[in-house]
Amino acid sequence: KEENLQVKNLEKQLDAMRGNIAVSLAKNYDNTLAVVKELRAKMGQTQSTLGSLPSQERQIVDLKRDQKIKQSLYLLLLEKREETAVMLALASDTAMLPRMASSCFSRFFTWRFSSLAPLISCSLLTATSL
């Protein structure tokens, strides 16, 4: 009978160990399922991010193109402004030039003809008398 008691005690211990092992395996299985679920969610997020990369890249390319266009337009407008400023400066200088030239030439010709008038009149008189 004692043997039977020892065997029964050992069987109870084995049954308890089997139960503990089954519970431990079930917990490990549940933990593994939770990890797999979490990894699948992360994989979905990663795939979503990778899927949106082409559209984000397109947006970046569009923004760079817009920036380049605006920069060249700005440079063109800046160049035109400088050209206009130079043209206005030249126009004001050119407008002053004829006035200055006309006054200089009129003074020159007035002085020149007034000093040559007696000479011209003498040469005309001499030419007519010949």
Say how far apart CA 74 and CA 71 lie, in whole Å: 5
pTM score above 0.85: no
Better-scored residue on pLDDT, 36 or 50: 36
Q: How many CA atoms lie within 13 A of 74 on its CB side?
A: 6
Report residue 68 as tokens: 């380049």
The pLDDT value recorded for residue 5 is 87
* More confident of the two residues 91 and 64: 64
**Size of the chain, expressed as the number of residues it contains:** 130
Mean pLDDT calculated for residue range 81-100: 77
